[in-house]
Structure 1
């Protein structure tokens, strides 16, 4: 096997191959033959799936400088070397089914990367530098141990497919609603209790899968005409959860996201002063929100500045931004176009959020 491997690599070097297939070779170490002399300068695609590799060489980028695709699926890699950030031309990196516990910050230097697959590892967090991957289109981090996703992920403006199934995620970062190219979001099998109010507001987002999040009780009504998956959601409330923020109308009680700081009712006529001030400031500086340099660091608390950048949500009726208060309205799943797809497999309902009691009274899901 060793002589056959050496011959394969030798032929690839002599004939300047662009593709090299080393899958299922029972490799425990990265072949030193690939690193000899000048390495494989012409190689663009390297396939090393289903081996037993435990590490990668530090000089990988130096010896394989023109790599465009690197497939290391199903190995035993525990660490990604910092030097991998020097693979300037890399567009596709597959590290699924390994033993990774940490992703090095240098991955943010892969400015040409379009597809990153890290599924089925042991990751508890992702580095914020992932937000530097401006060309990233696909990110798969399913079957890890993630508790949260990096806030800077919303800077990946080219991101189209985000899969984070089977982790320990309790919420979806609100900033993800701002991703202009996101077409598919899958967060099935997590611990989600609510979804951002604005999720689905973008026309680009067409597929949302949140199956088997047992604490998830409602879907933003922006999703009502999307392709959604939510079977296994909407489990009965546990007793401790009764103290959560809620909105009641007659015998109906809707439990709301913990992000909602105050709850409006149909009898309210005056919004809280903080909400009125936030809306006015938002309108005044709407064209300057991207930098907010006109506000000194002490003009507003950091938490309020963050809200100005990304409001809690927008009114489903008039699109007014909302910061601290919403008026919820429940639409049972059976009354929506998606009802026929679920056939009673879920208790999840759609929840619309309005900025005032007037909008609440006039909003209809199918209007």
Structure 2
């Protein structure tokens, strides 16, 4: 086997192969033949699926500087070296089915990376630096132990497909609603209790899968007429489906924790805190580029971040909302998706900024 491996690598060097297949070789160490002398300077794609590798060499980028695709699916890799960040041309990295417990921050230096697959590992968190991957199109972190996703993930402005099934996620970062190229979001089998109000507001987002989140009791109505999966979600068996259209409140809707006040149709005055936040948002969103015309006040960064990512937008008039919302339920059986998800009790929830918008909003219109 060793002789055959050496011959394969030797031939690849002599014939200047761009692709090298070392799958199913029972390798428990990275082949030293790949790292001898000048290495394989011309190699672009390296496939090492289903071996027994436990680590990667620190000089991988030095010896294989032109790698575009690196496939390490189904090994026993526990950690990847910080030097992984030196693979400047790398576009696709597959570390699925390994034993990763930690992902080094240097992953954020792979500025050419377009596809990152980390499914079926033991990751409990992702480094914030993953948000530096502005060319990233595909991110698969399913079947790990993640309890949250980095807030900076919204900086991955090219992201189109995000898969985070079978983790321990309790919420979806509001900032993900700003990923205007995101086409598919899959977060099935987590611990979600609510979804961001603005989820689905982008026209590009067409596929949302949140199946088997048993405490998820409401879907934002921006998802209406998109392809969604929500089987296994919804209220407990004690709540009758016939009551859904009549119930209005936090117990059933599963409102976000950020909502401090739940507005009712009898409330005609928006709280002063909400009015102030909306006014500041308009000032800072519409401020002119002329520095002499900037608002006369300076706000702390924490408040500026809140203004940048409001809780949601009114489904009726698109007004930004920060501390108060008016929810209106539309049972799933009354929507276009009723025939697809007959066994789920999840309802669509429209969120409005005032009792006036609440009365005039109609999901069917």
TM-score when scaled to structure 2?
Answer: 0.93
1:289 and 1:309 in contact (8 A); partners too: no
How far apart are the structure 2 equivalents of 1:13 and 1:249?
Answer: 69
Does residue 22 (structure 1) correspond to residue 22 (structure 2)? The answer is yes
- For 2:185, what is the secondary structure of its paired residue? strand
Distance 1:54 1:236, change over 3 A: same
Shift of the alpha carbon at 1:13?
A: 0.2
Give the distance between the partners of 1:320 and 1:106, measured in 2 at CA.
Answer: 40
Other structure's SS at 1:285 match? helix
Structure 2 counterpart of 1:125: 125
Secondary structure of the residue that 2:62 maps to in structure 1?
A: helix
Q: For 1:210 and 1:162, how far apart are their aligned partners in 2?
A: 12
Q: Which runs of 5+ in 1 are unaligned?
A: 239-246
Determine the C-alpha separation between the residues in 1 that align with 2:276 and 2:359.
24
Structure 2 spans left out of the alignment, 5+ residues = 239-245
Q: What pairs with 1:106-255 in structure 2 (closer than 5 Å)?
A: 106-236=106-236, 249=248, 254-255=253-254
Runs of 4+ with >6 A deviation: none
Q: Distance in 2 between matches of 1:329 and 1:96?
A: 41
CA contact (8 A) 1:161 1:185 kept: yes
Matched, 1:282 2:284: no
Preserved contact between residue 140 and residue 163 of structure 1 (Cα < 8 Å): yes
Aligned residues: 356
Separation in 2, partners of 1:84, 1:347: 46
Shift of residue 253, structure 1, vs aligned partner: 5.3
Conservation of the 8 A alpha-carbon contact between 2:287 and 2:295:
no
Q: 1:84 to 1:98 in 2, by over 3 A?
A: same
Is this contact kept in 1: 2:193–2:254, CA < 8 A?
no
Question: Is contact 2:235-2:252 (8 Å) kept?
Answer: no
Q: The residue matched to 1:331 in structure 2 has which SS?
A: strand
Measured at CA, do residues 200 and 249 of structure 1 come closer, stay the same or move farther in structure 2, by a change above 3 Å? closer
Query: Does the alignment pair 1:71 with 2:71?
Result: yes
Equivalent in the alignment of 2:322: 323
Aligned-residue offset at 1:231: 0.1
Residues 80-133 of structure 1, C-alpha deviation per residue, up to 9 Å, x if partnerless? 101110000000000000000000000100000000000000000000000000
Task: Please report how far the alpha carbon of residue 254 of structure 1 lies from its aligned counterpart in structure 2 after TM superposition.
Answer: 3.7
Give the corresponding residue for 1:350: 348
User: 1:242: which partner in 2?
Assistant: none
SS in structure 1 of the partner of residue 306 of structure 2: helix
1:263-342 pair list within 5 angstroms: 263-288=262-287, 299-300=298-299, 302-342=301-341
Instruction: Sort the Cα spacing of 1:342 and 1:289 in 2 relative to 1 into closer, same or farther, 3 A.
Output: farther
Taking structure 1 as reference, are residues 288 and 46 closer, same or farther at Cα in structure 2, changes over 3 Å only? farther
The aligned counterpart of 2:261 is 262
1:53-72 paired onto structure 2 within 5 Å: 53-72=53-72
2:242 maps to which residue?
none
Matched-pair contact (CA < 8 Å) for 1:219–1:349: yes
CA contact (8 A) 2:248 2:327 kept: no
Answer yes or no: is the 8 Å Cα contact 2:131–2:153 preserved in 1: yes
Which residue does the alignment assign to 1:362?
Answer: 360
Structure 1 CA distance, aligned partners of 2:342 and 2:358? 28
Residues 301-310 or 49-58, more deviating: 301-310
Q: Which range moves more in the overlay, 302-311 or 191-200?
A: 302-311
C-alpha deviation, 1:15, in angstroms? 0.3
Query: 1 CA distance for matches of 2:86 and 2:353?
Result: 49
8 Å contact from structure 1 (residues 289, 308) kept in 2: no
Q: What is the CA deviation profile of residues 26-79 of structure 1, one whole-angstrom value per residue up to 9, with x for unaligned ones?
A: 000000001001000110000000000001100000000000000000000000
Post-superposition offset of 1:307: 1.8
